[in-house]
Amino acid sequence: MKYVLEIENVSKFFNGLVAIDDLTIKVKPGQIYGIIGPNGAGKTTLFNCVTGIYTPEKGKIKYKGEDITGMSADKIAQRGVLRTFQNIRLFHEMSVAENIVAGCHTKSQQKWYHSIIHTPFQKADELKQWKKVEELMKFFNLSQFAETPTKDLPYGAQRKVEMARALAAEPELLILDEPAAGLNENETIELTGMIRKISEMGIGIMMIEHDMEMVMSLTDYITVINFGKEISQGEPSFVQDDPRVIEAYIGSDDEDEDE
Ligand SMILES: Nc1ncnc2c1ncn2[C@@H]1O[C@H](COP(=O)(O)OP(=O)(O)OP(=O)(O)O)[C@@H](O)[C@H]1O
Ligand SMILES: [Mg+2]
């Protein structure tokens, strides 16, 4: 499998206004792919198209070669595309461990009748799940918070719980919408290391991030979006020095689109 995700000429409109304009992006397994651009550029909208929250009006989205364009968000998650949100979404009254267990259910082998008759199959499945949850808590340094309701956690820890929950579903593509937003410098460094390790497991990662230092040091490849359109694509070193990118970030009245 060459690409875990192929976004081909995708466009999305809201009330006739273009939010995503003919984007093509291909993510390889184990690759960390950055999506950057000014506020309102269409980054989250793109992620919403990939995860089935929106259906694009034009173009095609393929996951592991399968066309998932217009498929429901549930089905896309079951296939192995998992995400975190720009504004953290957790079950705030539930503990860290319970939140992560909830993530396992996307992938659970259980049938409805197993939970009624409590088969040995269900017991084995549950045991496996708890082991996975323990491992994930260890990986994210969350073990000491296992029983803590997530609403009582510091913000940085909440971000990690959300990521752990997504990983519990055993994704092959992990989609992160501003994972470092609201984190301090040390937390950002910790998270950067964790994201790198996740990619080393072979999981493709697509992330939106405004922290340029993090993006430039962590990602393998970047697409820069402005007004829904690609303005640059390439390795971090290329994108960083691209005059079109610098112009978009500084903001220019000049609509110079000769290149
Ligand atoms: N459900 C919607 N209905 C109408 N317009 C929308 C909807 N969702 C997003 N938009 C518009 O689409 C454009 C892109 O928004 P989007 O949230 O994708 O930007 P973004 O790049 O994620 O920005 P930020 O960096 O601020 O998160 C904006 O103009 C936004 O107002
Ligand atoms: Mg956004």
In a domain, 85, yes or no: no
Is the CB–ligand 1 distance for residue 41 below 6 Å?
Answer: yes
Whole-number percent of the chain with pLDDT over 70? 90
Buried b (16+ CB within 10 A) or exposed e, 18-32: bbbbebebbbebbbb
Ligand at shortest distance from the CA of 224: 1
Could you tell me if 122 and 221 lie in one domain? no
Instruction: Report the pLDDT value the prediction gives residue 237, as an integer from 0 to 100.
Output: 95
Could you tell me if 257 and 192 lie in one domain? yes
Q: What is the CATH number of the domain that holds 5?
A: 3.40.50.300
Could you tell me if 28 and 65 lie in one domain? yes
Residue after which a domain boundary falls, among 169, 194, 212: 169
Indicate the angle between helix axes 155-168 and 96-104, nearest 10 degrees: 30
Could you tell me if 62 and 101 lie in one domain? no
Instruction: Report the pLDDT value the prediction gives residue 1, as an integer from 0 to 100.
Output: 84
Residue after which a domain boundary falls, among 114, 139, 169: 169
Instruction: Report the pLDDT value the prediction gives residue 204, as an integer from 0 to 100.
Output: 98
Interval between CA 173 and ligand 1 midpoint (Å): 22
**Overall domain count for the chain:** 2
Domain span at residue 47? 1-80+171-259
Instruction: Report the pLDDT value the prediction gives residue 119, as an integer from 0 to 100.
Output: 66
Structure tokens at 92: 């705030």
Closest ligand 1 atom, residue 37 Cα: 21
Is the CB–ligand 1 distance for residue 18 below 6 Å?
Answer: no
Statement: residue 206 has pLDDT above 70: yes
232 vs 34: CA distance, rounded Å: 12
